[in-house]
């Protein structure tokens, strides 16, 4: 097997950009769901921790967006900023709004996972620098 084929095969089994993105969306979605529940219960002391977690995950998402690449990344950026705005309150409806947005984004990226992995394996999408971000999720 030539080195390019070996790389492509290894890339299919390795942590990909889309997998990292989906992991961040999952972490954000879990924090938003927990926050919505806590807001509904009126548990403001625990809600603070979920707010910080969701802010952290949303900022990770924002950090990876290249708005100069077109309308889609610009819209995702706007949605992330909206999420950050929504969770400044303890209003359960605002938290549910964040859950709804994150759920839709997570599902949308999940639908293109296989194609994104293929594009990364072919070199059309640069490979993930996993050392830079994996620790962030683990520490949270």
- Per-residue pLDDT tens for 33-79? 999 999 999 999 999 999 999 999 999 999 999 999 999 999 999 99
**What pLDDT score was predicted for residue 123?**
87
Give the C-alpha distances (Å, rounded to integers) separating 56 from 3, 19, 27, 113: 38, 18, 10, 23
Q: Are 54 and 28 in contact (CB under 8 A)?
A: yes
pTM as predicted: 0.80
Minimum mean pLDDT range among 80-94, 100-114, 124-138: 124-138
Q: How far apart are CA 77 and CA 61, in angstroms?
A: 8
What's the pLDDT band for 9 if we cut at 50, 70, 90? low
Judge residue 61's burial from the number of C-beta atoms within 10 Å of its C-beta, 0-12 exposed, 13-18 middle, 19 or more buried.
Answer: buried
Q: Which two tokens stand for residue 4?
A: 């390019």
Taking CA 100 as the corner, what is the angle to CA 97 and CA 103, rounded to the nearest 5 degrees?
Answer: 145
Q: How far apart are CA 92 and CA 123, in angstroms?
A: 43
Q: How far apart are CA 51 and CA 31, in angstroms?
A: 7
Domains of the chain: 3-132 (1.20.120.340)
Q: Which two tokens stand for residue 83?
A: 């999420």
């Amino acid at each position: 097997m030539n080195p390019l084929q070996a790389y492509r095969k290894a890339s299919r089994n390795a942590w990909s950009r889309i997998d990292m993105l989906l992991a961040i969306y999952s972490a954000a979605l879990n924090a938003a769901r927990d926050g919505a529940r806590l807001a509904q219960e009126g548990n403001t002391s625990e809600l603070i921790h979920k707010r910080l977690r969701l802010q952290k995950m949303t900022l990770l998402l924002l950090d990876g967006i290249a708005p100069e690449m077109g309308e889609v990344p610009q819209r995702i950026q706007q949605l992330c900023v909206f999420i950050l705005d929504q969770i400044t309150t303890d209003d359960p409806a605002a938290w549910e709004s964040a859950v709804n947005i994150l759920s839709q984004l997570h599902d949308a990226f999940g639908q293109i996972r296989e194609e994104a992995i293929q594009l990364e394996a072919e070199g059309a999408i640069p490979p993930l620098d996993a050392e830079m971000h994996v620790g962030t999720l683990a520490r949270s």
